[in-house]
Amino acid sequence: MVTNDMTEHVPVLLHETMTLLDPREGETHVDGTLGGGGHASHICERIGRTGRLLACDKDAHAISVAEKRLSSYPCAKTFVNGSFRDIDTYCAREGVDAVDGILLDLGFSSMQIEDSGRGFSFLRDEALLMTLSDTVLEDTLTAHTIVNEWGEESIADIIYAYGEERYARRIAKGIVDAREKAPIETTADLVAIIKASVPRVYAKGAIHPATRTFQALRITVNDELGAIEEGIRKGLALLAPHGRMVVISFHSLEDRIVKRMFREAADTGEFELLTKKPIAPTDDERRNNPRARSAKVRGIQRINPSSA
């Protein structure tokens, strides 16, 4: 989900996604990651007045923006403030026992990264939250909790595993050393610690030195990889005969999960892969939409009606 403004949402890999998903008149579809409604508007337009769209997002503000955007589109729409990992619960609540298409766009919108005030961006000085939850309670896991309370080894492990950061142990040590002097309260505090913990040449590289650590914290706080596995598993079970699931991922950890789960599903004989290899953006899309540069899309279709 890529945009400079949620109201001017530019979907990543739009043509490729719609080709794989192939929404048709009268079908029921789920957009599990509504965001600014960019993909959803095209789905709704294609399924028409007799079609139905169930749209989910953990970000309540994203839903309110997308509702306005989609108000003029013809299909029946249900909006759910929640994670796509609970897709089965939402469908059951709406009396939907099978769907024709499911789209999961695993990227973050620019509003979520840059304008949320939740500490997702290392370019802004904000509180260290990194949670998409609208309610932050005392026991809510946040980035602040991790960097100020978790052990050095645990911090290093998530930065290495979820950020694929080569200097994970240096950064973890820097975090623990810094918090002994004063709590780490803001994104600016954390960025300064990261920069001081890595080699100077690394800090001046093409990728901001905080990129991978912030990714790791965000993934951990929101249990993003666990949600992907659960959402795909439940989504595949909901697909009607010939129903399709399309997933857009943005980093290797996500794509590995999608690739593995789709292959395992295809091996059962109940599904077939629509993409032997992931589809990547064209050079033009990468140039026009920098956040699309790492996107990959995969698709799968149920082929065994008796198993639905």
pLDDT single digits (tens) 86-139: 999 999 999 999 999 999 999 865 555 555 667 888 888 999 999 877 777 788
What does the pLDDT look like over 284-298, one tens digit per residue?
888 888 778 889 999
Averaged over 201-230, what is the pLDDT? 94
SS (H, E, C) the chain: CECCCHHHCECCCHHHHHHHHCCCCCCEEEECCCCCCHHHHHHHHHHCCCCEEEEEECCHHHHHHHHHHHCCCCCEEEEEECCHHHHHHHHHHCCCCCEEEEEEECCCCHHHHHCCCCCCCCCCCCECCCCCCCCCCCCCCCHHHHHHHCCHHHHHHHHHHHHCCCCHHHHHHHHHHHHCCCCCCEHHHHHHHHHHHCCHHHHCCCCCCCHHHHHHHHHHHCCHHHHHHHHHHHHHHHEEEEEEEEEEECCHHHHHHHHHHHHHHHHCCCEEECCCCCECCCHHHHHHCHHHCCCEEEEEEECCHHHC
Q: What is the pTM of this model?
A: 0.89
CA distances from 283 to 235, 276, 295, 298 (A): 31, 21, 12, 19
**pLDDT tens-digit readout, 47-78:** 999 999 999 998 888 899 999 999 999 999 99
Question: What CATH architecture applies to the domain 6-111+224-307?
Answer: 3-Layer(aba) Sandwich (3.40)
> Which pLDDT does position 123 carry in this prediction?
84
Class of the domain covering 133-221: mainly alpha
| Whole-number pLDDT of residue 305 | 66
Q: Where are the domains of the chain?
A: 6-111+224-307, 133-221
